[in-house]
């Protein structure tokens, strides 16, 4: 079976700005890939090139074994970042129209549209005009529009932006269902925790270049910070730190807000360190620290780490604010 | 192909099945009928009658009695009756009017009768005052200066005193020839007196003077001719013109034939403009609501554009067929002159509609895809509209001289070419045969060119947001792709 998506040395410039630079990518069928990176990293441009909506300056793109998505448009579902509906069109009619454009037969289409709307909690909206729906409801309709024709490959550009936590959860479930049915899914986001929650594989881009491309498991292993976090139940962390520093295999004990972070030497036995630490105090929580994508990302991008951290904080703040207001 | 048809179908439905469109297409002809009817109906209301006197100083002594006769109530009644009889006669002769009457049923006949009664009754209420032969002209002008154009009050009560609307002075020389010529009479009218009333008074005066001349001239008596015979001799003959056609004799319609090329052009313009601007609106809507990206994930830009253009072509054809059908139908039914609209000219209308539509639609699709909202579109539309307006401005010149240099040149200039050709081909003067294929060729070439450029602009423009493009940008996009 050919890869679902294959990009070879793809490059795209807008005027003097390089949006995507020498991009290589292979996505195997059936995988769920998170495509992450800050705003302006080249995510949407890459996705649009995969969709043959815009064309690369150089390089090869293969989608579902064809040289262009144009030839397999009916087998691809696409939720664009910039999304819209016909304001005056009825929700049911819109979905039917899109499904017809995607090459679906009329037989059973009505039932299918209704089924999907029920699934998304929009059962009573079939006859409503698109403009009567709230923004979150419209987004769900758009998601349905991208999956209604049962595509083999699903490309979702920022599917979670603007959704409240309940709808985020619903959408996550629906994406999981699609994945369970064996479909290849690639979704982009600038909120990295979404990717951590959802995907098997992470693709990280910055300034048009790929900075990371691996499974989540491998990323966690590779970027294992080799640290144990100990949160004592009653004892003050700063008092415990000097003693814990002496445990074999620990080369540093850093006091954080209400815990001690034990950085381990290479080859240290983390299980033994944890057992030792547990003997010293009653623990509320103890864990082998897991790297998070945000830290990895900042680590990888290096130089301008501070700037990016600020940017990410902004983005997450904005996402949180959006959620709060939703 | 199938997808394109779906796009076309949606495009057609969203444009046609809206209240605005249905009202526009149905209401327009209905409005024309209503307004036309209202104008005819309102003509029956000449407003309240003018009341006053006409003073005459008859220095010849021959005219005043005849004038008195003409101003008598009996004469007015007789005149009105004659008019009514003539109208009835005309109606009997004219099939068209009869058809209209039949169509309206008894109600219409009743209305016509009522209108006729109204017309005969509503003349100005003017009485004649005969002043002494030697009255002072200057002094008698005074009341005219101060006259007011009063309307007769509803209850018919008369105002006190004389309201002199006019003063007529007939010198002796007006009746009796002196030195080989007649003297002119003088007429003085009050300010703001209705032109029709003035004409009516003048007509009566001049008729009376002619009567007086005929009756006082001894030569007529010597020749044994009565004034009545002389009047009959000099009455101007008038013939009802007929147009000869292979199908037989038809009533000549004069100006109506001139209107047909204009009607054709308006038809073409209206159908092209309506569907073309609907295309612009839907394209801008798709762009500004960002639906376009969803569509482009299912179809190629070329399919989308073609589908939209075909859909709106359906709208244009619908308008064309509805209006042309109504036009041809009414020409056939009311005038019984179907020969005025030849099958060939209708076929050419169809051909040039397609050329004009595809040209205009390509431009609209390109503009619609390039801009972010309607306001930006207006800026780019202005030059297009200006070119489109050229046929409007000079249709009369072209229709008058369909084979003039201007007309021929404009027939071969893209954009104006379909409109000018339709005017020329639907007119009465034949267009040289070689010009028709050449004009169609020019039209097709311009369509191909416009569609090619539009496709390139559409592909880039559809996903381009931000700074609104100007013409230079559009040209660059065409060169780029």
For chain B, the domains span 53-230, 253-480
Tell me what pLDDT residue B364 has.
Answer: 93
Decide if B41 contacts B104 (C-beta within 8 A). no
Q: Token pair of A191, please?
A: 């909120």
Find, among B332, B423, B319, the residue nearest to B28 by Cα.
Answer: B319
Prediction ipTM score = 0.76
The DSSP H or E segment spanning B20 is helix B19-43
Please state, in angstroms and rounded to a whole number, the distance separating the CA atoms of residues A87 and A84: 8
Please state, in angstroms and rounded to a whole number, the distance separating the CA atoms of residues A80 and B14: 24
Cα distances (Å, whole numbers) of residue B225 to B85, B228, B236 = 29, 8, 18
- Asked if B291 and A70 come within 8 Å (Cβ–Cβ), the reply is no
Percent over 70 (pLDDT), chain A: 92
Residue A147: its chain B contacts at CB < 8 A? Answer: none
B408-456 pLDDT per residue, tens? 998 998 888 999 998 888 877 788 889 999 999 999 999 999 999 999 8
Residue A83: its chain B contacts at CB < 8 A? Answer: 290, 293-294
- Asked if B294 and A100 come within 8 Å (Cβ–Cβ), the reply is no
- Asked if B6 and A89 come within 8 Å (Cβ–Cβ), the reply is no
The CB-based long-range contact list for B91-97 (8 Å cut-off, 24+ gap) reads: B95/B336, B96/B334, B96/B335, B96/B336
Please state, in angstroms and rounded to a whole number, the distance separating the CA atoms of residues B173 and B393: 53
Tokens 């009802």 sit on residue? B240
Cα distances (Å, whole numbers) of residue B151 to A173, B126, B403 = 86, 11, 54
Distance of CA B479 to the CA centre of its chain: 46
Tell me what pLDDT residue A326 has.
Answer: 46
Residue A86: its chain B contacts at CB < 8 A? Answer: 14, 285-286, 289, 291
Mean pLDDT of chain B: 81
Task: Pick the range with the lowest mean pLDDT from A121-130, A243-252, B96-105, B173-182.
Answer: B96-105
- Asked if A145 and B294 come within 8 Å (Cβ–Cβ), the reply is yes
Percent over 90 (pLDDT), chain B: 17
SS3 label, residue B219: helix
Q: Which alpha helices (DSSP H) does B122-194 contain, by range?
A: 137-145
Interface of A with B (CB under 8 A): 48, 51, 53-54, 70, 73-74, 76, 78, 80, 82-89, 97-98, 100-103, 142, 145-146
SS3 label, residue B203: helix
Tell me what pLDDT residue B251 has.
Answer: 63
Please state, in angstroms and rounded to a whole number, the distance separating the CA atoms of residues A151 and A179: 11
Q: Token pair of B385, please?
A: 């509209």
Per-residue pLDDT at B104 exceeds 50: no
Per-residue pLDDT at B468 exceeds 60: yes
Which of B10, B285, B294 faces A83 most closely, judged by CB atoms?
B294
Which of A82, A89, A98 faces B290 most closely, judged by CB atoms?
A82
B328-352 pLDDT per residue, tens? 887 777 776 677 777 888 898 899 9
Tell me what pLDDT residue A222 has.
Answer: 78
Residue A54: its chain B contacts at CB < 8 A? Answer: 463
Low-confidence residues of chain A, pLDDT below 70?
301-326
Distance of CA A208 to the CA centre of its chain: 17
> With left for phi above 0 and alpha for psi between -120 and 50, is residue B47 left, alpha or beta?
left
CA angle at A144 for the pair A140 and A147, rounded to the nearest 5°: 140
Decide if A150 contacts A182 (C-beta within 8 A). no
Tell me what pLDDT residue B249 has.
Answer: 67
Q: How confident is residue B233, by pLDDT bands cut at 50, 70 and 90?
A: confident
Instruction: Give burial (CB, 10 Å; 0-12/13-18/19+) of B262.
Output: middle
Task: Pick the range with the lowest mean pLDDT from B224-238, B274-288, B356-370.
Answer: B224-238
Name the residue in chain B with its Cα closest to that of A155.
B297
Strand locations in A216-274, DSSP E?
227-232, 250-255, 260-264
Rounded to the nearest 10°, the torsion over CA B442, B445, B450, B456 is: -170
Tell me what pLDDT residue B103 has.
Answer: 47
Please state, in angstroms and rounded to a whole number, the distance separating the CA atoms of residues B439 and B454: 22
Please state, in angstroms and rounded to a whole number, the distance separating the CA atoms of residues B450 and B443: 10
Please state, in angstroms and rounded to a whole number, the distance separating the CA atoms of residues B308 and B366: 12
Which of B3, B286, B289 faces A101 most closely, judged by CB atoms?
B3
Residue B298: its chain A contacts at CB < 8 A? Answer: 73-74, 98, 101-102
Tell me what pLDDT residue A302 has.
Answer: 58
Identify the residue with better confidence: A221 or B272.
B272
Residue B6: its chain A contacts at CB < 8 A? Answer: 97, 100-101
Q: What is the DSSP string of B34-70?
A: HHHHHHHHHHT---SPBEEEEEEEESSSSHHHHHHHH
Tell me what pLDDT residue B316 has.
Answer: 94
- Asked if A101 and B295 come within 8 Å (Cβ–Cβ), the reply is yes
B240-271 pLDDT per residue, tens? 777 776 766 666 666 667 778 888 888 898 89
Q: Chain B 294-353, CB below 8 Å of chain A: which residues?
A: 294-300
């Amino acid at each position: 079976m050919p890869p679902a998506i294959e990009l070879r040395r793809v490059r795209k410039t807008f005027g003097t700005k390089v949006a995507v630079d020498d991009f290589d990518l292979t996505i195997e069928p059936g995988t769920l890939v998170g495509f992450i990176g800050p705003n302006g990293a080249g995510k949407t441009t890459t996705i649009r090139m995969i969709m043959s909506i815009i064309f690369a300056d150089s390089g090869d793109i293969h989608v579902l074994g064809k040289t262009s998505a144009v030839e397999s448009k009916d087998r691809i579902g696409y939720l664009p970042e910039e999304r819209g509906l016909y304001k005056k069109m009825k929700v049911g009619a819109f979905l039917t129209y899109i499904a017809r454009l995607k090459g679906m037969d009329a037989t059973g289409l009505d039932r299918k549209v209704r089924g999907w709307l029920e699934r998304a909690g929009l059962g009573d909206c079939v006859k409503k005009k698109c403009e009567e729906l709230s923004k979150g409801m419209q987004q769900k309709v758009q998601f349905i529009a991208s999956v209604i024709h049962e595509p083999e490959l699903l490309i979702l550009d920022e599917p979670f932006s603007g959704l409240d936590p309940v709808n985020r959860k619903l959408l996550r479930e629906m994406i999981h269902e699609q994945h369970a049915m064996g479909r290849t899914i690639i979704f982009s986001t600038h909120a990295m925790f979404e990717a951590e929650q959802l995907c098997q594989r992470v693709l990280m881009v910055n300034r048009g270049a790929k900075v990371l491309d691996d499974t989540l498991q491998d990323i966690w292993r590779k970027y294992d910070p080799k640290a144990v976090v100990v949160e004592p139940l009653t004892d003050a962390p700063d008092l415990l730190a000097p003693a814990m520093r002496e445990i074999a295999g620990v080369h540093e004990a850093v006091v954080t807000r209400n815990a001690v972070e034990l950085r381990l030497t290479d080859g240290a036995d983390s299980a033994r360190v944890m057992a030792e630490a547990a003997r010293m105090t009653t623990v509320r929580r103890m864990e082998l620290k897991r790297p998070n994508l945000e830290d990895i990302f900042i680590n990888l991008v290096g130089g301008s780490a501070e700037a990016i951290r600020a940017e990410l904080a902004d983005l997450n703040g904005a996402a949180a604010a959006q959620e709060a207001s939703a | 192909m199938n997808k394109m048809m779906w796009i076309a179908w949606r495009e057609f439905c969203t444009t046609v099945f809206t209240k605005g469109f249905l009202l526009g297409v149905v209401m327009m002809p209905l409005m024309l009928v209503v307004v036309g009817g209202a104008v005819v109906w309102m003509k029956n209301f000449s407003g309240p009658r003018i009341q006053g006197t006409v003073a005459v100083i008859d220095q010849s002594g021959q005219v005043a009695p005849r004038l008195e006769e003409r101003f008598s109530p009996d004469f007015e009644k007789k005149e009105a009756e004659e008019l009514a009889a003539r109208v009835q006669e005309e109606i009997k002769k004219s099939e068209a009017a009869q058809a209209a009457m039949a169509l309206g049923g008894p109600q219409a006949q009743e209305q016509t009768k009522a209108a006729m009664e109204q017309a005969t009754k509503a003349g100005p209420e003017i009485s004649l005052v005969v002043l002494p032969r030697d009255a002072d002209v200057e002094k008698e002008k005074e009341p005219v200066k101060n006259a007011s154009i009063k309307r007769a009050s509803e209850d018919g009560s008369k105002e006190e005193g004389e309201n002199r609307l006019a003063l007529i002075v007939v010198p002796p020389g007006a009746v009796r020839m002196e030195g080989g010529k007649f003297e002119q009479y003088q007429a003085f009218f009050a300010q703001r007196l209705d032109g029709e009333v003035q004409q009516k008074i003048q007509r009566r005066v001049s008729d009376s003077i002619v009567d007086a001349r005929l009756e006082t001239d001894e030569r007529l008596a010597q020749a044994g001719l009565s004034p009545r015979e002389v009047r009959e001799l000099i009455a101007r003959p008038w013939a009802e013109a007929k147009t000869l056609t292979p199908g037989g004799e038809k009533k000549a319609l004069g100006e109506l034939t001139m209107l047909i090329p204009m009607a054709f052009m308006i038809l073409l313009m209206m159908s092209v403009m309506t569907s073309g601007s609907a295309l612009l609106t839907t394209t801008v809507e798709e762009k500004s609501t960002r639906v376009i990206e969803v569509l482009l994930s299912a179809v190629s830009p070329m399919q989308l554009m073609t589908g939209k253009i075909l859909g709106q072509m359906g709208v244009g054809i619908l308008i064309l067929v509805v209006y042309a059908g109504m036009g041809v139908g009414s020409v056939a039914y009311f005038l019984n002159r179907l020969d005025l609209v030849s099958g060939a000219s209708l076929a050419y209308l169809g051909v040039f509609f397609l050329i004009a539509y595809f040209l205009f639609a390509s431009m609209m699709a390109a503009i619609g895809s390039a801009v972010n909202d309607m306001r930006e579109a207006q800026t780019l539309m202005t030059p297009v509209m200006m070119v489109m307006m050229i046929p409007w401005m000079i249709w009369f010149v072209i229709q008058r001289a369909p084979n003039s240099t201007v007309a021929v040149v404009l027939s071969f200039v893209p954009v104006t070419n379909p409109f000018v050709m339709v005017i020329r081909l639907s007119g009465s003067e034949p267009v040289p045969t070689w010009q028709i294929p050449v004009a169609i060729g020019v039209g097709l070439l311009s369509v191909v060119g416009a569609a090619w450029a539009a496709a390139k602009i559409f592909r880039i423009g559809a996903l381009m947001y931000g700074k609104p493009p100007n013409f230079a940008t559009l040209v660059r996009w065409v060169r780029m792709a």
